[in-house]
A and B are shown apart, each in its own frame.
Chain A
Amino acid sequence: MNKMTLNLGPQHPATHGVLRLIIDLDGEEVVSAEPDIGYLHRGMEKLAETRNYYQYLPMVDRIDYLSGFFYSYAFCNAVEELNHIKVPQKASYIRIMLMELNRISSHLLWFGTYLIDLGAISPIFYAFRERELIMDYFEKITGQRMMYNYFTFGGVRHDIPFFDDVQSIINTIGDKIGDYERLLSENPIFLDRTVNVGVISEKKATEWALTGPNLRASGVLSDFRVNMPIYDDIDFDIVLTNEGDCYSRYLVRIYEMRESIKIIQQCIQWLGQCSSRDLPFLEKVTLKTFPNQEVFSSVEAPRGLSMCYLNSIGGNTPYRVKWRTSSFYSTQILKDILVGVTVPEIMAIYGSLDVVLPEVDR
């Protein structure tokens, strides 16, 4: 057999961005795969060193444009820890509610695009129809559809007046998730493409540092939300499957959307109480000097554990900011799991990992 080197990307529609994969093929079989990243590197960490904290805040949404609230939260939380700012409880509930809505919208986008990767065109129309409800809501309260810049140090920028909207959104989405499942979960073509494809064992998942739904699909019980103090009063289940193939990664995300709906329901209940209407949503702070300290602030984003490392040596600019993003590690594992698969399976596996390239390159 003749060996062939296939250059996949960086401008390839199914990579959802600018990932380049250098793949050596023996016929249909992949012999080796090497991910090449950096096409979207914006120097997020260097830019932080020349800006003050307020100037850097709007930029962190852009690290992952599909789940901006999580990165805002991680950065705000880091600065709040650094300055010992106590966030009002109402702001925490608003943050959780918006983050969970953001998780649903991110998973919906993954759902639609993943099925396009597999050749099913119609699910993306359904997924975007529901995602649009969330986007419209975000636009209503933050003025933006994607880069929100809504969380700030000490709370959130505005109060939220519209809770009935959220209730109707989650009711609709709750129904529609059932539709998606009826459409796909037992669809023989979908099962053919995903069951037993791209199996990641528990050991492999941990040693390549996968986190989030990808890790939980491999049977590792690990969800950073249980460690986050703001989720203390929230009751939710961690979704876990054991097979580690593309189909179980699909299942984990579908069930996670249901769990998110459960969480949002609890937030609406708390926020909808008459007594919470006049509570403060922002702790007014003036940040002039910063202590000489370092903080690690983590959050369970839709794609896994995201961590903001913030190092301050005084002054009003960070000395060093480092972002730990989960897609960075989901890309790295391709080197291992693509070996031995066939060409049509490459995109089925890569798509199932839910990689977002701006998050990889930062």
Chain B
Amino acid sequence: MPDINIIREHFPNNIIEAGKLDASFNIIEVLSFLKNCPELSFDMLLSIIAIDYIHYNELIYCLLSTHLNESIKVSVKMKNEAKSVTAIYKSAYFDECEIYDLFGIKFTGNPNLKRLLLPQSWAGHPLKKDYILNDERLKWNE
């Protein structure tokens, strides 16, 4: 974990729990601060992880600072709509398209949100917990 005090000073209302910085209400501000702050300089967005908790969804942004060789996780909890971070980290584009494809989460501000892995005509979002497994082959060991 990097120098937490700098983050605490700038964002006193954001909670850090279980090694993750919660930024559900100000993700854009937090990420642009983490990227541009010279003491932290988290210049790489490794990945965005989405998890469906049925009542809400969580996104975990994994950031890496190549200068300090440190990483941090920023989490966002929301229903079905999140803010796109492609303006801060270009690599977020594919991640956001994939999450839209598999979870149906819409990213406002993404330049061209479309299905990435599945065919454009696919119905439903398979990684959601309420997705019906209509393929018999998946049920063989249940």
Interface residues of A (CB under 8 A from B): 37-38, 41, 43, 45-47, 50-51, 55, 206-209, 211, 215, 220-222, 226-227, 294, 296, 305, 307, 309, 311, 319-320, 322, 324, 328-329, 331-332, 336, 361-362
Contact = CB atoms under 8 A, between A and B. Distances in A.
Contacts of A221: 66
20 contacts: A37-B117, A45-B102, A45-B127, A46-B126, A50-B133, A221-B66, A222-B64, A222-B66, A296-B73, A305-B46, A307-B47, A309-B49, A320-B52, A320-B127, A322-B49, A328-B94, A329-B94, A332-B93, A361-B117, A362-B117
Nearest to A38: B117
Most buried by B among A43, A51, A211: A43
A207 B43 contact: yes
Interface in B78-111: 89-91, 93-94, 102
B118 A332 contact: no
A8 B101 CA distance: 24
A206 B65 CA distance: 9
Interface string B44-62: 1111011110000000101
Nearest to A55: B141
B62 A296 contact: yes
A223 to B, nearest CB: 9
A209 B89 contact: yes
Nearest to B140: A50
A254 B43 CA distance: 27
Interface residues of B, number: 33
Given A50-B138, A222-B69, A209 B116 contact: no
Given A305-B46, A307-B46, A329-B94, A206 B141 contact: no
B138 A329 contact: no
A17 to B, nearest CB: 14
Interface of B: 18, 43-47, 49-52, 60, 62, 64, 66, 69, 73, 89-91, 93-94, 102, 116-119, 126-127, 133, 138-139, 141-142
Main secondary structure of the interface of A (DSSP, over half): mixed
Contact of B142 (A50, A206, A294, A309): A50
Given A37-B117, A45-B102, 15 more contacts: A43-B126, A46-B126, A50-B133, A50-B142, A206-B44, A209-B44, A209-B46, A222-B66, A226-B69, A227-B69, A296-B62, A296-B73, A307-B62, A329-B91, A361-B117
Contacts of B94: 328-329, 331-332
Given A51-B141, A222-B66, A309-B49, A41 B89 contact: no
B36 to A, nearest CB: 13
Closest 9 pairs (CB-CB, A-B):
A209-B91, A38-B117, A324-B47, A41-B117, A222-B66, A332-B94, A206-B43, A322-B49, A206-B44
Nearest to B51: A320
A252 B133 CA distance: 45
A322 B47 CA distance: 10
Contacts of A324: 46-47, 49, 62
Interface centre among A209, A215, A305 (most CB of B within 10 A): A209
Contact of B118 (A41, A211, A307): A41
